[in-house]
A and B are shown apart, each in its own frame.
Chain A
């Protein structure tokens, strides 16, 4: 099975990304989003603060948080279990996954919010996503081509 990825300028560089929808029944929130494939991240999926706002994720009510080192700094992230994720494979079928844990990032400072920096952070699909689903990640930046492949 091949899952086509988009290739575009995200956070100032050419990156491969997957568009997907995510549903968290426990928090009654859902969203369409895109996440870059980040082989430097061990986490399944980290969603940015912007996505928490878009999805109306109840940050103030969530107490299950974790500090995650990211890009030389640290972010506070809200842990969500039981989310459902879906995206489209090459032949047009919808693929559904049940990630063990996904994270919504918290804004780290009002200053960052004012200056927009916090809104530049992309969503990250990490090595857990690739490994637990047995996906191979292929990225050919010269040809703007990228995909995930799963052996049947």
Chain B
């Protein structure tokens, strides 16, 4: 039961941070152009131009990159045709 609750909470927090990311993308493009940002609890906890450098920073904070939102903020709003 505890494992399910942890999983559920982790997923709900991840989704909440994703919503925050999408609502704040214009601001992020101004302040973090061409950077990777790590988001937790609806705020940026660290950023870097290099993803491996960001992982190292997160490791120092004892954060797990695989559990939190990490997004590359491109300077230009490139529209990908998939």
Contact = CB atoms under 8 A, between A and B. Distances in A.
Given A50-B72, A71-B82, A116-B74, A56 B66 contact: yes
Contact of B70 (A30, A50, A121, A122): A50
B79 interface: yes
Given A54-B65, A120-B74, A9 B10 contact: no
Contacts of B10: 21, 32
Interface in A104-126: 116-117, 119-122, 124
Contact of A6 (B18, B51, B52): B18
Given A11-B82, A13-B80, A19-B14, A86 B67 contact: no
Given A71-B81, A119-B72, A32 B14 contact: yes
A8 B18 contact: yes
A8 B22 contact: yes
A13 B74 CA distance: 13
B21 interface: yes
Interface string B53-76: 001000000000111101010100
A32 B55 CA distance: 15
B66 to A, nearest CB: 4
Contacts of B80: 11-13, 71, 120-122
Interface string A38-57: 10110000000010011110
Contact of A34 (B4, B18, B72, B82): B18
B66 A19 contact: no
Nearest to B73: A116
Interface of A: 6, 8-13, 17, 19-21, 29-32, 34, 36, 38, 40-41, 50, 53-56, 70-72, 86-88, 92, 94, 116-117, 119-122, 124
What are the 9 tightest A-B residue pairs by CB atom distance, in nearest-first order?
A8-B22, A12-B79, A119-B72, A11-B80, A31-B66, A19-B15, A32-B14, A54-B65, A54-B66
20 contacts: A11-B82, A12-B79, A19-B11, A19-B15, A19-B18, A21-B10, A21-B11, A31-B67, A32-B10, A34-B15, A50-B72, A87-B11, A92-B8, A94-B7, A94-B8, A94-B11, A116-B34, A119-B36, A119-B51, A120-B72
